[in-house]
Structure 1
């Protein structure tokens, strides 16, 4: 976890702590699903509104695959801190949620030729084992969140105990794809037009994703 994530977690905790004097009840909660394993804290403002913050992570995972003669290897990182406000329109635990998420979601891939040539864009180039076409895919650092769910309703301060929670929603943001070439041959021969064309092909899949989904289930403990 980098320093920026720690700062955001501390800021979210401080915000919720400052509301403790007016809150009716609090809870800690955990869950799993997308975007990973989650832990958080919630406080009630009044009978209809709750504020909360949580941290979720899928950790880091190795990636590999082949695309048109390019052998890709790399890793995926997914960490997310969120600050949310829940509105309960009825007396049930159903809620609508809005908020902001602070993300560290990116994939870094090293692409090497599978033989003595590599196709980038519409052109096939001679290549050595030292030549590379590296790609990074990164989602925005800060994104708005909208969703709905069940749980975190803290109307009754005396109602301590365990409660099941559920969330479905998403952080709105589009991934950016970037690429660079390096090596004794590719760095001298590959045109920017071919790099852009190759990235466009990658964006046909990744670039169409305009939100980071959340589908998670968990439990909370009220106190």
Structure 2
């Protein structure tokens, strides 16, 4: 419901722009999730757009740097874009995205040792090693796409390929009676290893397809 409420607010904003060309609602799916948006043509070569995208919250588990994790991934995005049409419906797109994208990883103690840095630490069920990975809240966007061109009334096909450019940050902590004894050197080393892995990802991709309706 919150997602739909935010979309309605964006739609009202776009409809109030006041150009002679009617706004174009659209829906798409792909990365970064389910999208709802409003496109507003301002000339025969330029369209501005607002959209919301979400995948909600997803649970994930795996192994990172030798530690078994249970994780939770969350991604919501608001985007403001400008499309420049260079050949028919083909366009170049630039803009900015406001992101709520993070991945929280937790290693739960179960009585077996957990290696943090260069040391193996004994654990109890009350022990935790937590890593929080967060993508920047505001990022530039560049991409290419198809659709939203002024004058194509009725149903249309839309597609986007691009990325929000930014590097995630990593924070870690330990909890519980045994893991509270972890040395700062080991914790720093483990954090850096995670940063080295996450640091290879410097963008959130967008690859989506959908439909639009221009009045």
Using the size of structure 1 for normalisation, the TM-score is 0.88
Whether the 8 Å CA contact 2:136–2:168 is kept in 1: the answer is yes
Whether the 8 Å CA contact 1:71–1:114 is kept in 2: the answer is no
| Aligned length in residues | 215
Partner Cα distance (2:8, 2:154) in 1: 25
Partner Cα distance (1:33, 1:179) in 2: 31
Q: Which runs of 4+ in 1 moved over 6 A?
A: 5-9
Q: Secondary structure at the match of 2:86?
A: coil
Q: How does 1:53-202 map to 2 (within 5 A)?
A: 53-67=50-64, 70-90=67-87, 92-154=88-150, 156=151, 159-187=152-180, 189-202=181-194
**Aligned-pair distance for 1:68?**
5.5
The partner residue of 2:204 within 195, 209, 212 is 212
Q: Which runs of 5+ in 1 are unaligned?
A: none
Give CA deviations for 1:101-159 in whole Å, capped at 9, x if unaligned.
111110112212354322100111222221110111110111111111010001x2xx4
Q: Which runs of 5+ in 2 are unaligned?
A: none
* Alignment-derived partner of residue 30 in structure 2: 33
* Alignment-derived partner of residue 44 in structure 1: 41
Task: Tell me: CA distance 1:62–1:219, structure 2 relative to 1, closer, same or farther (3 Å).
Answer: same
Q: Secondary structure at the match of 1:208?
A: coil
